[in-house]
Structure formats: structure tokens, C-alpha cells
């Protein structure tokens, strides 16, 4: 046991430095010694602390600032290649706290991992942290495994099969199996707080997007994926989809209130062709899927006017008039 504790000294010191020090809170060798006694009930002297810190620097390449440099104490400098900045960890934490694609239990597990990566001073800011989110999270506990399996299938260029679910409103709201799907997976993307798989279903000719939170029981087959689409075609499909609703892609032209400019850029990117009509309106043209775009237009009917295609104009007019 004594040999084990002696060999563990360098880990005790490293953990104390990670937990209790940063550039604003350098700690002395005596403080490190006292914290090791408190945390691990192990007694070491200050000379052992200094010797092991030198070992961490020289043999393990830890970027540790020493007392000789600042006359205050020791702390581990941030490694930009391997360690997250405070703001980066906070961004990751809040992303998972408010993401709908992940179940609540998994979300809190990831949040706690992020907090545990922080020093005690940063952790203190999150001691009463509790996200406020609507009850819109998925209940699919396989979501993380789905990401792992699909990434593996994409890497090895293998087809996958899976159960695809949907909601039905019977006497109660039920999550039911829609069908078993076999598909060629091409790319995973994250949009509108959901993960989507861009894929080509068996016996289909066009790309499709499927939500990962609706997939269960993924199986990686031994069949090679279809190579019908190249990267440029897949990227075009992603950029031209609205709300990840698949369908035919067409060129659309719209006239919008200037208040919609940010929204159009956020959804369709900066490659859209814009033209200022006057200080209150602008013109835009781009390629997109009509099915998804139709929903967007109807949601913003007071600020968006469709100029083309004619078929979409007629369709929107029928909806407004209540004609089926």
C-alpha cells in the first residue's frame, strides 16, 4: 500500500492542480501538500511536490507555470490543442442542456461531465444550474449509440437497417413502429436541434433525410453503400433543404420584408442571390425543396411573397382560401 501511494503521488498532484488551480489561482507547494492530505489522506512533503511537478513538465509535457515564474505558485496553463477553454465548456454544457435530440438523463450526464472538467472556481458558477426547457426531448435512449453506429457505417461505406418510428394519436399519444428501413448512409448533420442522416433508401432514386431520434435497433450490414451521389451533390441537398424535409429541389424567387433578412440568411446561407428593392423590401432567389419551403412561406405569409415557381404560388393561394 505504501508503494502504491508513493507511485500515486504524481497523480495526486496532477488532480489537485487541475481541480484547484488556474491562472487566477496559483497554489503553492505547501497548499498542494495540504490538499492532497485533505482529498486523499496521503502525506507528502513539499519537496516531493516540486520534484513531481518537474516530472510532469519534463516527461509528460504538461504546461505548468511554476513559482519561479510568478512568485505565487503553480497552475496548469490551458492547452489549446487538447483542453477546452472556459467559454467552450460552457457552450457545450448549454448546448446539451437545451438540445431536444437527447434524453434528459443523458443530457444531465453530459452536463455533469462538463462541470467536472472545470476547476472548483468555475464549477461554483454552476452549482445551482438548472435548464428551463419544454417537454420536447426525445425518449429514445439509443440516440448516442445511433450516432456511433452510423459514423462507423459511413466510415466503412456499409449499408444500415433500422426500425423507424413515428407518433400516432389514438386514445393516447403513442410512439409506434412505422417500418424497417435499409439505406445507404452518407452524412450526419445537426439542424433545428435534431440530428439527421442524409441517405439513400433501398430501391429509391433520391436522397432523403431521416431523424436519428426516430431510429432504433440499427444494424450495420455487409453490403456496400450505393455510390450514386458524390460529396457535392450531397452538400447541395443539405444546403437546399428546409427543415430537413426531403423532396424535389427547385429554384424559388421571393420578395420579403427587410425584417426577414436575418432569417433567410440563417436558413439558406449567404450563397442566396439578394437584391435590395427599397429600404423596406428585398428580393432573393435560391434552390430549395418545395415541400419544406412551402411550410416556411405559410408561417411567414405576412412578410414573404412568392414570385416563382407558379405551382407553389397556386398551392399557397389554395391553402389561404381553404381550398383542398
Give me the CATH number covering residue 283.
3.30.70
Q: How many domains does the chain have?
A: 4
Q: Is residue 136 part of a domain?
A: no
pLDDT over 60 at 224, yes or no = yes
Looking at the structure, do residues 151 and 189 belong to the same domain, yes or no?
yes
Residue 3: pLDDT over 60: no
Q: How far apart are CA 149 and CA 139, in angstroms?
A: 19
Share of the chain above pLDDT 90, in %: 39
Per the structure, the complete domain to which residue 46 belongs is given by 2-76
Which H or E element spans position 207? none
CATH classification of the domain holding 14: 1.10.10.10
Both 207 and 266 in a single domain?
Answer: no
Q: What pLDDT, on a 0 to 100 scale, did the predictor assign at position 193? A: 76
Place of cell 389561404: 320
Looking at the structure, do residues 103 and 173 belong to the same domain, yes or no? no
pLDDT at 107: 87
User: Within this chain, do residues 282 and 261 fall inside the same structural domain, yes or no?
Assistant: yes
Top pLDDT among 22 and 267 is at: 22
pLDDT tier for residue 212 given thresholds of 50, 70 and 90 = very high
pLDDT band at 187 (very low <50, low <70, confident <90, very high): very high
Residue 138: inside a domain: no
Within this chain, do residues 299 and 317 fall inside the same structural domain, yes or no?
yes
Tell me if 137 is assigned to some domain.
Answer: no
Q: Are residues 121 and 92 in the same domain?
A: yes
pLDDT of residue 8: 83
Instruction: Give the separation between CA 301 and CA 235, rounded to whole angstroms.
Output: 29
Q: What percent of the chain has pLDDT over 70?
A: 90
Q: What is the pLDDT of residues 69-125, one digit of tens each?
A: 998 999 988 766 677 888 888 888 888 888 878 888 888 888 899 998 888 888 888
Strand partners, 194: 191
Query: Is residue 220 located within the same domain as residue 147?
Result: yes
Residue ending a domain, choose from 212, 240, 268: 240
Let me know: does 92 contact 84? Beta carbons within 8 Å.
Answer: yes
Indicate whether 81 belongs to any domain. Answer: no
| CA–CA dist 150, 277 (Å, integer) | 46
Give pLDDT, residue 169.
62
183, 205, 240: which is the final residue of a domain?
A: 240
State whether 108 and 149 are in the same domain: no
Average pLDDT in the chain: 86
Q: Are residues 61 and 148 in the same domain?
A: no
Same domain, 221 and 282: no
Structural domain contains residue 256: yes
Residue 303 has pLDDT above 90, yes or no: yes
Other Cβ atoms less than 10 A from the Cβ of 241: the count is 24
Q: Residue 23 — pLDDT band, cuts 50, 70, 90?
A: confident
Question: What is the reported pLDDT for 1?
Answer: 40
The CA distances from residue 79 to 58, 64, 84, in Å, are 16, 10, 8
**How far is residue 199's CA from residue 179's CA, in Å, rounded to a whole number?**
16
pLDDT tens across 122-136, in order?
Answer: 888 888 888 766 666
Instruction: Tell the residue number behind the cell numbers 425584417, with chain if given.
Output: 259
pLDDT at 320: 82
Least confident of 86-95, 106-115, 143-152, 314-323: 314-323
How far, in Å, CA of 218 to CA of 227, rounded? 21
Report if residue 209 sits inside a domain. Answer: yes
- pLDDT at site 103: 85
Q: Is 123 helix (H, G, I), strand (E, B) or coil?
A: helix
Region 55-78: what's the mean pLDDT? 89
Amino acid at each position: 500500500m505504501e508503494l502504491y501511494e508513493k507511485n500515486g503521488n504524481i497523480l495526486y498532484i496532477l488532480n489537485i492542480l487541475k481541480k484547484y488551480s488556474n491562472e487566477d489561482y496559483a497554489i503553492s507547494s505547501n497548499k498542494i501538500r495540504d490538499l492532497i492530505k485533505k482529498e486523499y489522506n496521503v502525506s507528502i512533503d513539499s519537496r516531493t511536490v516540486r520534484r513531481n511537478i518537474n516530472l510532469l513538465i519534463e516527461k509528460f509535457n504538461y504546461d505548468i507555470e511554476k513559482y519561479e515564474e510568478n512568485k505565487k505558485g503553480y497552475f496548469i496553463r490551458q492547452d489549446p490543442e487538447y483542453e477546452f477553454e472556459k467559454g467552450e465548456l460552457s457552450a457545450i454544457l448549454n448546448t446539451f442542456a437545451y438540445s431536444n435530440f437527447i434524453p434528459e438523463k443523458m443530457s444531465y450526464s453530459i452536463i455533469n461531465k462538463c462541470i467536472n472538467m472545470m476547476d472548483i472556481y468555475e464549477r461554483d458558477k454552476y452549482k445551482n444550474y438548472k435548464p428551463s426547457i419544454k417537454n420536447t426531448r426525445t425518449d429514445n435512449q439509443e440516440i448516442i449509440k445511433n450516432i456511433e453506429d452510423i459514423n462507423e457505417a459511413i466510415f466503412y461505406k456499409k449499408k444500415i437497417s433500422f426500425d423507424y418510428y413515428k407518433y400516432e394519436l389514438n386514445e393516447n399519444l403513442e410512439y409506434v413502429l412505422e417500418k424497417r428501413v435499409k439505406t445507404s448512409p452518407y452524412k450526419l448533420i445537426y439542424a433545428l436541434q435534431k440530428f439527421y442522416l442524409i441517405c439513400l433508401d433501398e430501391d429509391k432514386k433520391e436522397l432523403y433525410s431521416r431523424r436519428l431520434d426516430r431510429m432504433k435497433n440499427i444494424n450495420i450490414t455487409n453490403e456496400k453503400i450505393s455510390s450514386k451521389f458524390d460529396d457535392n451533390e450531397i452538400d447541395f441537398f443539405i444546403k437546399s433543404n428546409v427543415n430537413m424535409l426531403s423532396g424535389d429541389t427547385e429554384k424559388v424567387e421571393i420578395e420579403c420584408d427587410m425584417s426577414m433578412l436575418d432569417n433567410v440568411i440563417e436558413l439558406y446561407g449567404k450563397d442566396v442571390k439578394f437584391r435590395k428593392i427599397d429600404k423596406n423590401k428585398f428580393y432573393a432567389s435560391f434552390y430549395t425543396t418545395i415541400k419544406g419551403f412551402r411550410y416556411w412561406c405559410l408561417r411567414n405569409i405576412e412578410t414573404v411573397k412568392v414570385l416563382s415557381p407558379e405551382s407553389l404560388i397556386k398551392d399557397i393561394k389554395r391553402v389561404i382560401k381553404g381550398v383542398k
